[in-house]
Amino acid sequence: MNQNLDSYIKNSIFSSLVITNLINELLDQAKLEKSTFELDNEYFNLFEVIIHAFQILKFQAETKNIKLLLQIDQSKPFLFCKIWGDKRRYLQILLNFISNSLKFTKKGGFIKVHLKVLQE
């Protein structure tokens, strides 16, 4: 009984986050159409954004027995700690990529996010 409640709560949290993401995308689309869309640029830690995306999608991955992996280029990992951009948009993009990957990955598989420095 307790495990069913835990599963229900996790599923509810996941569903609410998905709905929130969809609403934000619709609001962004409306802003684009009205030419009032602006990015909220700031410095942020990309690791934290990826971990947040993994936490949001963890329940969905667990139900399909899919592992979420993060691989980091060890030559200059500090470059990912201070990224200039819109943190919320990065999260939105990651959630879209990873949730689409979850849809098309077979049970028992894995999804890997690989951070690599291509150019400084």
Break the chain into its structural domains and give their ranges: 2-115
What is this structure's pTM?
0.71
pLDDT in tens, 78-118: 888 888 999 988 998 898 899 999 999 999 999 999 988 87
- pLDDT on residue 45: 93
The DSSP annotation for 63-82 comes to: HTT-EEEEEE-TTSGGGGSS
User: So what CATH class is 2-115?
Assistant: alpha beta
Which residue did the predictor score with more confidence, 26 or 87?
Answer: 87
Q: Residue 14 pLDDT > 70, yes or no?
A: no
What are the distances in angstroms from CA 62 to CA 5, 22, 50, 109, 111?
16, 22, 17, 11, 12
User: Rounded mean pLDDT of the chain?
Assistant: 83
